[in-house]
DNA sequence: ACCCAGGCGATTG
DNA sequence: CAATCGCATGGG
């Protein structure tokens, strides 16, 4: 099946799937292959035409929702294009869109992402899917869906230990059990404001403790990538580098000194994380999350050199 | 061998 | 509050 992008809708599939927000897509012979909500999907873009096929007959509205084609990207880019560096980041990967990721999978994926790198994270997610997901045959090849919360909550610990989770294993189990026992938790997050949802996840509130393995950064990724909180500005080591080298003028001198000397793999304290995140949200506005994603991708592709 | 990667949690002062 | 540290894993 195929569809044309309407005139004026900018979208670049390669940039979108390459930028590091997703862990389940790979490219082979011009086609992108991924597993989304139990469907194997292959998709490619030629100019304005998107061609796709899936193991379950998904329709184009599914992809339009997944790839956030409902976002007015031109408008968004014009609101965040506020300085020369951001302009370069945009030109480096115009057409990059955030993806509306499945909620549960996104949460576990980013718990698995901490203190790691994309290549390793992808392997971890693939192993979890292979151990606990459903096998799907598509065009003669084997794929595995991402397992549900109950598949992981009371899973065989030995099988979980095959997934190279390392110290993240307790978090994955604990969060799975939490989601199984509190069916309304994820829905309730979706209805909260960004700040409330962030606090609930990373800090905890009157009605519960925060989720194990979910801190300031993982919470922001989760909120941005699957709960439609486009103002979230996840700050990892790369984004921190961008901020300290290109946006230090937005901060007080004292704070600047702290977070630039606090270099390397050192962790930001929660309070420092909040200062950075709030400052960048104030600067870029309601679409700070888009700004973050362009900056992140550009920095990783050598934009800071 | 050493350093780094889409950080978090626990412990101390 | 703040500053440290350990945490598993895999690749360069």
CA A279 – CA A291 distance, rounded (Å): 13
Give A232's DSSP letter: -
pLDDT tens digits for range A84-104 = 999 999 999 999 999 999 999
Nearest nucleotide from residue A113 CA, by C1' atom: B6
Comparing A97-106, A252-261, A263-272, the range with the smallest average pLDDT is A263-272
Provide the pLDDT for residue A207. Answer: 75
Helix (H, G, I), strand (E, B) or coil at A200: helix
Residue A209 has pLDDT above 60, yes or no: yes
pLDDT tens digits for range A67-81 = 999 999 999 999 999
CA A257 – CA A271 distance, rounded (Å): 15
- Produce one character per residue of A286-298: b if its CB has 16 or more CB atoms within 10 Å, e if not: ebbbbbbbbbbbb
Q: Is the CB of A184 under 7 A from strand C?
A: no
Given a contact cutoff of 8 angstroms between Cβ atoms, the answer to whether A95 and A300 are in contact is no
**Residues above pLDDT 70, as percent of chain A:** 98
pTM, rounded to two decimals:
0.97
Residue A265 has pLDDT above 60, yes or no: no
CA A44 – CA A23 distance, rounded (Å): 18
Provide the pLDDT for residue A263. Answer: 44
Q: Which residue is nearest to nucleotide C6 (CA to C1')?
A: A167
Instruction: Scan residues 191-230 of chain A and list those with Cβ within 7 Å of strand C.
Output: none
pLDDT tens digits for range A155-193 = 999 999 999 999 999 999 999 999 999 999 999 999 999
Radius of gyration of chain A (CA): 19
Nearest nucleotide from residue A169 CA, by C1' atom: C8
What's the token pair of residue A199?
């606090």
pLDDT tens digits for range A28-39 = 999 999 999 999
Nearest nucleotide from residue A269 CA, by C1' atom: C2
Nearest nucleotide from residue A225 CA, by C1' atom: B6
CA A283 – CA A57 distance, rounded (Å): 42
Q: How far is the CA of A300 from the C1' of C11 (A)?
A: 16
Q: How confident is the model at residue A261 (pLDDT cuts 50, 70, 90)?
A: low
Burial-class residue A39 by CB neighbours within 10 Å (0-12, 13-18, 19+).
middle
CA A63 – CA A9 distance, rounded (Å): 14
CA distances from A205 to A145, A177, A199, A282 (A): 33, 19, 7, 24
Identify any residues that bridge with A163 across adjacent strands, giving them in sequence order.
none
CA A202 – CA A199 distance, rounded (Å): 5
pLDDT tens digits for range A126-139 = 999 999 999 999 99
Residue A262 has pLDDT above 70, yes or no: no
Q: Which nucleotides of C are covered by protein (CB under 7 A)?
A: 1-11
Q: How far is the CA of A272 from the C1' of B13 (A)?
A: 20
Nearest nucleotide from residue A267 CA, by C1' atom: B7
Torsions phi, psi for A3 (to 5 deg) = -155, 160
Helix (H, G, I), strand (E, B) or coil at A30: coil
Q: Which of A198, A190, A201 is nearest to A278 (CA)?
A: A198
Residue A264 has pLDDT above 50, yes or no: no
Cβ partners under 8 Å of residue A259, min gap 6? A240, A243, A244, A251, A268, A272, A276
């Amino acid at each position: 099946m195929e569809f044309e992008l309407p005139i004026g809708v900018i979208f670049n599939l390669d940039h979108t799937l390459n930028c590091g927000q997703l862990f389940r897509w790979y490219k082979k012979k011009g086609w992108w292959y991924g597993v989304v909500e139990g469907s194997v999907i292959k998709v490619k873009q030629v100019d304005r035409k998107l061609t796709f096929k899936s193991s379950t007959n998904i329709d184009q509205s599914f992809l339009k929702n997944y790839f956030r084609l409902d976002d007015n990207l031109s408008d968004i880019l014009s609101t965040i294009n506020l300085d020369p560096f951001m302009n370069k980041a945009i030109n480096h990967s115009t057409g990059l869109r955030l993806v509306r990721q499945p909620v549960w999978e996104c949460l576990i994926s980013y718990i698995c992402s901490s203190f790691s790198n994309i290549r390793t994270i992808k392997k971890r997610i693939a192993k979890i899917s292979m151990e606990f997901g459903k096998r799907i045959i598509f065009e003669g090849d084997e794929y595995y869906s991402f397992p549900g919360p109950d598949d992981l909550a009371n899973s065989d610990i030995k099988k979980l230990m095959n997934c190279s989770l390392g110290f993240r294993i307790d978090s994955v189990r604990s969060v799975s059990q939490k989601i199984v026992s509190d069916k309304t938790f994820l829905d309730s997050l979706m209805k909260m404001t960004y700040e409330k949802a962030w606090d609930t996840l990373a800090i905890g509130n009157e009605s519960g403790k925060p989720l194990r393995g979910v801190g300031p950064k993982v919470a922001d990724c989760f909120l941005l990538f699957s709960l439609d909180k486009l103002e979230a500005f996840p700050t990892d080591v790369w984004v921190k580098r961008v901020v300290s080298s290109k946006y230090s003028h937005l901060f007080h001198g004292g704070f600047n000194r702290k977070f630039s000397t606090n270099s390397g793999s050192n962790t930001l304290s929660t309070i420092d994380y909040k200062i950075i995140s709030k400052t960048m949200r104030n600067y870029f506005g309601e679409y700070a999350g888009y700004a973050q994603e362009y900056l992140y991708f550009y920095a990783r592709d050598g934009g800071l050199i």
